[in-house]
Structure 1
Amino acid sequence: MNDFAPTGLLQNCHAQTLLSSTKLRRLRIYPRAKAMLNASKTVILDCGDGHQLLGEFATQAKRSKGIVTLIHGWEGNSQSSYMLSAGGTFFNAGYDVFRLNLRDHGPSHHLNKELFNSARLDEVIGAIKAIHATYPHEWQFLAGFSLGGNFALRVAAKAAEADLNIQQTIGICPVVDPAKTMIALETGWWGYEKYFVRKWQKSLQKKIRLYPELGYKDNLLKLKSLREMNKYFIPNHTQFATPEDYFKAYCIADDVLASLSSPAHIIAAQDDPIILSEDLSRLAASQYLHIETKQYGGHCGFVKNYQLDSWLDGRLLELINLCRYPSGQPGKNGAS
């Protein structure tokens, strides 16, 4: 599965990024995800300190091979195409799957009064601990996409400190340097910034209807760009005084991943228009970290053919199976 060689239009980074979430691809995903969706139940997790997160858990009718927790990207949710595609692949291969919604993503705005921000790592660690305690498995895996990949890798870096047992963590096109990602969104193809502005505003409108005392309703109507939104919401609704301080708080460059204590794997594309592949060189060297880059793939795309099949799903499953069966032979190392 190491080779990813799309042809023609599929070598275009924007085509990869957009095709991965088209309605046509969702039509192809649903049949493959049907078993997982039928087995899924909605769960509210107690993450500690009065915080709650929402997720969907699908368990096998028979003994499972382990549990895979998936974390979506910014303004995605547990129903995003890539979450259903990857989740369905893991479930069909015999794994239990937990699709976690970050705060204020999916139908979870009512659970916590304070707004989501990407520095809220403790509640995500609390969610993973709650998942593992409620659904104990010998084999526990974690994977995240984009911002979710950033969260997953930060959780893995804190695993020993938090007494978390994670056999393998995978970050797909993870945000490395948020400040540079924001610049890429502002200066790249206009459609990306417009997409995130629209999604973020819609989420904030839903939140203010539930908690009008947050008091930003009138200001929200005036904010037309990510820069304007960050300059207003960061000092007024986070513990950070400036966007620069906020972005540093969840940057994973430099020594952040030096504390990894279990295997972590990054899958990224050199042509990603949102997460610059050059930032990967700024990650701390670690015996536990492996970085896999592909020439093509866009942002969380990795569509391998014109039937819109995913190369990524097969690669994710391969990586986790290799962790369970390093010899390539199921049944060893206590595996079922």
Structure 2
Amino acid sequence: MSEMLTVSDYQPPRWLRNPHLQSILGSSPMRRRLGERAMAALRVTTSEHIVDGGDGVRLHGLHSRIEGKPARGLALLLHGWEGSAESSYMRLTAAQLLARDFEVFRLNFRDHGNTHHLNEGIFHSNRIDEVVHAACDIARRFDTRPLLLAGYSLGGNFALRLALRAPAAGLSLAHVAAVCPVLDPARTMTEMERGVGMYHGYFERKWRGSLLRKRELFPELHDYDDRTLKQGMRELTRWLVERHTEFGTLEAYFDGYNIAGERLAALQVPASILTSEDDPVIPVSDFRQWLLPVDAQLAIARWGGHCGFLLDARLEGYGERWVAERLSAAVGTSL
């Protein structure tokens, strides 16, 4: 078997070293089509499932496998904020894992992937308990051992928090991989406010659309007016925290899913984390100050933007290969 990719192997051409170009192209329609073709070429069988998030919460996901092949394990994939199970990086990572003889479950968070109708309450980033509960349900339904986990951006943050809680939940995880995980959400918010406006504007538009959809479906519960939705991201988040969470203040809410500093020191699941020096929304200094356990390995690439890591004009990705190699190595030699 050839040696695994390292960050020194990631050498994109000069024209592709701009972090904003990387970040934008990383989730472009071209990448989505690339993922569709990759899945189709493998002749994958995919089925939809509603899984139990506990306390009546229902979450949707997609289970994929290649018929007739014994599975080496089941990989659970988590998308980023306002992404979905069908996002380009989710499809491409699934294809890499399926080609290595894994089954894959791509989970949609609440209110993502056109699932707003499944639950009355609004998504927020501290809803970790329902994701842990859903992971346990998935592990029971698809008794394919071992179970592995990976996530991107906010999904990387969720993946690492899920892994931290896994032992107490009775969930056996062989490995967790995270790409550009959100560490300190307060810092990320500030970076988006100070930086290039397209990231801030993109998430504002996507989130407003999600909240409008929620209001259409449950007008008796969510009667917020258009003036509320026109607020900037910080004030809209503050509104969400004060009315739809138990945290009371924006600072307490951000602290609730902060995994920076020593917050992952008790992590028992072996972990692999990939980020880039030029991520435009998550400061690399936060990663360099991170205190991780011995079994957690952090790789910082020179380039890549936020969850980009594109290799060439075909928009092939280093990130999805990196994830698949790390998860595959955790359960033995790749076939």
Query: TM class by shorter-chain length?
Result: over 0.9
TM-score (norm 1): 0.94
Deviation at 1:47, TM superposition (A): 1.8
- Indicate the residue corresponding to 2:199 in structure 1: 192
Question: Is 2:154 the partner of 1:147?
Answer: yes
Q: Please tell me whether the aligned partners of residues 81 and 154 of structure 2 are also in contact (alpha carbons under 8 angstroms).
A: yes
Which one is further off, 271-280 or 221-230? 221-230
Q: Please tell me whether the aligned partners of residues 36 and 87 of structure 1 are also in contact (alpha carbons under 8 angstroms).
A: no
Which of 246, 255, 267 is the equivalent residue of 2:262?
A: 255
Question: Is 2:101 the partner of 1:86?
Answer: no
Q: Please tell me whether the aligned partners of residues 72 and 101 of structure 1 are also in contact (alpha carbons under 8 angstroms).
A: yes
Counterparts of 1:223-242 in structure 2, within 5 Å, are: 223-242=230-249
Counterparts of 1:287-326 in structure 2, within 5 Å, are: 287-325=294-332
* C-alpha separation in 2, matches of 1:36 and 1:205: 37
Unaligned runs of 5+ in 1: 331-336
* C-alpha separation in 2, matches of 1:73 and 1:199: 12
* C-alpha separation in 1, matches of 2:77 and 2:210: 21
Counterparts of 1:174-213 in structure 2, within 5 Å, are: 174-213=181-220
Which of 70, 80, 87 is the equivalent residue of 1:73?
A: 80
Deviation at 1:318, TM superposition (A): 1.4
- Indicate the residue corresponding to 2:30 in structure 1: 24
- Indicate the residue corresponding to 2:177 in structure 1: 170
Deviation at 1:18, TM superposition (A): 0.6
Unaligned runs of 5+ in 2: none
- Give aligned-pair identity as a percent: 37
| Amino acid corresponding to residue 36 of structure 2 in structure 1 | Y
Q: Please tell me whether the aligned partners of residues 145 and 173 of structure 1 are also in contact (alpha carbons under 8 angstroms).
A: yes
Q: Please tell me whether the aligned partners of residues 100 and 334 of structure 2 are also in contact (alpha carbons under 8 angstroms).
A: no
Secondary structure of the residue aligned to 1:307 is coil
Q: Give the 3 Å change call, closer, same or farther, for CA 220–105 of structure 1 in structure 2.
A: farther
Q: Please tell me whether the aligned partners of residues 147 and 174 of structure 1 are also in contact (alpha carbons under 8 angstroms).
A: yes
Counterparts of 1:23-172 in structure 2, within 5 Å, are: 23-34=29-40, 38-61=44-67, 62-172=69-179
Deviations 1:128-182 (A, max 9, x none): 1011000012211000000000000001111111111000000100000000001
* C-alpha separation in 1, matches of 2:216 and 2:334: 54
Deviations 1:228-268 (A, max 9, x none): 21121110111111111100000001332112112011100
Q: Give the 3 Å change call, closer, same or farther, for CA 241–67 of structure 1 in structure 2.
A: same
**Count of residue pairs the alignment pairs up:** 328
* C-alpha separation in 1, matches of 2:48 and 2:141: 14
Question: Is 2:285 the partner of 1:274?
Answer: no
Which one is further off, 208-217 or 250-259? 208-217
Which of 11, 14, 21 is the equivalent residue of 1:8?
A: 14
* C-alpha separation in 2, matches of 1:76 and 1:69: 16
Secondary structure of the residue aligned to 1:65 is coil
CA RMSD of aligned residues (A): 1.6
* C-alpha separation in 2, matches of 1:45 and 1:100: 9
TM-score (norm 2): 0.94
Secondary structure of the residue aligned to 1:275 is coil
* C-alpha separation in 1, matches of 2:227 and 2:71: 46
